[in-house]
Amino acid sequence: MENWLTTVQHTTEKVLTLRKRKKLRQKQKQQAKHPVLDWLEAFIWAAGVVLLINQYLFQAYQIPSGSMIDTLLIKDHIFVNKIIFGPELIPGKFKIPSVFKPERNDVMIFENPTYISRGPTFDIFQRVLYMLTLSLVDIDKDENGNPKPHFLIKRAVAVSGDSIRFRKGEVQIKPPGFEEWLDESYFKELSGVSDRSRRMIDSSEYTAIRASAYIDAYKNSSIKVNENLILKTSGSSGSIGDMFAWMKYRNEALYAINPYEKRYGNLWRKFDIGWYIPDGYLMPLGDNRDNSKDGRYFGPVSLDNVLGKAMFKYWPLKRIGKIK
């Protein structure tokens, strides 16, 4: 028994001595390390943690435009839940599948279908830098120095199986199983969802918008018209207002003037009929409808391009809160 206790004692002393020596060597190595190298290692470790969190869990994002007013304001800083819809293995590549899909009325961030890439190397570097600086540094800018809209943040207004169209700037939805079109406000009331959309253009202004579009169509067809008289009788100041409606009216006029030009008829019908949202897609729209370049201009967006769900505003402090 005594020999066994002696053996245990010697073994314990040996282990403790080795641990003490190891800690001493680590301490000496740490003391011998150059302060700059020590700082650099700490920075790289912290940057790696920030990058992993932003890439796979929650990404910081800064609101660049007023398209989501009043839900989100310009320069609001928010966190986007990236894990819910499946993060990408590397920035811009290899999206991981998820059992969760964006739902109607979700505010989500997605890749802009009209974005023109400068190449995969630049895209990855830009996104890594953007994430590491918590959205404070964005090197992807246009010729005027403004951030290029690589990513957009909008609300999912229509989902798979819906049909959607626009009348004088107002959304109309026909969900699966419905025969009649429903105004968005009424549809949201039926669904128990608060209507956060915002309009800056009154329905009475669409007579002037139509007149402006027709004048442009006549000019394009080399038809002389009394522009001042038309604008005066329509109550127009010459401003376009709703660009989507203006383009619809312009193509309608061009098709009436040139009925043999089928492309005008096709464009007009596209604007007039609207869209059916196929499986695996959704229609994103800005809450600030009259100041938003959204699905009206590029159509439904694939769920594969949806990167995350907007969850929380963290800056400025007075606007901290959940995003609804």
**43 within domain boundaries:** no
Choosing from 226, 241, 269, the residue where a domain stops is 269
Pair (257, 282) in one structural domain: no
Residue 8 confidence (pLDDT): 45
Residue 4 has pLDDT above 80, yes or no: no
pLDDT tens string 32-81: 556 666 677 766 776 677 777 777 888 889 998 999 999 999 999 999 99
Q: Are residues 281 and 226 in the same domain?
A: no
- Report, as an integer, the average pLDDT of 140-150: 82
- Return the bridge partners of 321, or none: 313
Do 143 and 281 share a structural domain? yes
CA torsion sign, 220 to 290 to 115 to 100?
negative
pLDDT for residue 79: 94
Decide if 154 is inside a domain: yes
Residue range(s) defining the domain that contains residue 100: 51-160+277-322
Residue 25 in any domain: the answer is no
285 and 242 inside one domain: no
pLDDT in the model for residue 275: 95
In angstroms, rounded to a whole number, what is the distance separating the alpha carbons of residues 56 and 91? 10
Does residue 236 register a pLDDT over 80?
Answer: no
Q: State the average pLDDT for the chain.
A: 84
- The whole-number pLDDT of residue 232 equals 64
In terms of average pLDDT, the best of 40-49, 157-166, 237-246, 266-275 is: 157-166
Over pLDDT 90: what percentage of the chain?
44
The arithmetic mean of pLDDT across residues 108-132, rounded, is 85
Q: Determine, yes or no, domain membership for 186.
A: no
Q: Which of 269, 285, 301 is the last residue of a domain?
A: 269
- Residue 115 within any structural domain of the chain: yes
In this structure, the answer to whether residues 261 and 294 fall within a common structural domain is no
The pLDDT of residue 67 is 94
* Residue 64 and residue 154 share a domain: yes
**Residue 316 preceded by cis peptide, ω within 30:** yes
More confident residue, 132 or 295: 295
Residue 1 neighbours by CB under 8 Å, 6+ apart:
none
Same domain (yes/no): 250, 104: no
Total number of domains in the chain:
2
Distance of CA 280 to CAs 81, 89, 111, 163, 277, Å?
20, 21, 15, 14, 8
pTM: 0.80
Check whether residue 80 and residue 151 sit in a common domain: yes
- End-to-end Cα spacing for the chain: 72
Q: Do 218 and 146 fall within a single domain?
A: no
Instruction: Say whether both 62 and 109 belong to one domain.
Output: yes
Shared-domain flag, residues 316 and 252: no
- DSSP H helices, 73-205, are 120-132, 184-191
Q: At 95, which CATH number?
A: 2.10.109.10
* Least confident interval from 89-98, 111-120, 233-242, 293-302: 233-242
Residue 31 included in any domain:
no
Beta-strand (E) ranges in 48-103?
A: 58-62, 77-81, 88-90, 93-95
**Which residue matches tokens 């293995």?**
89
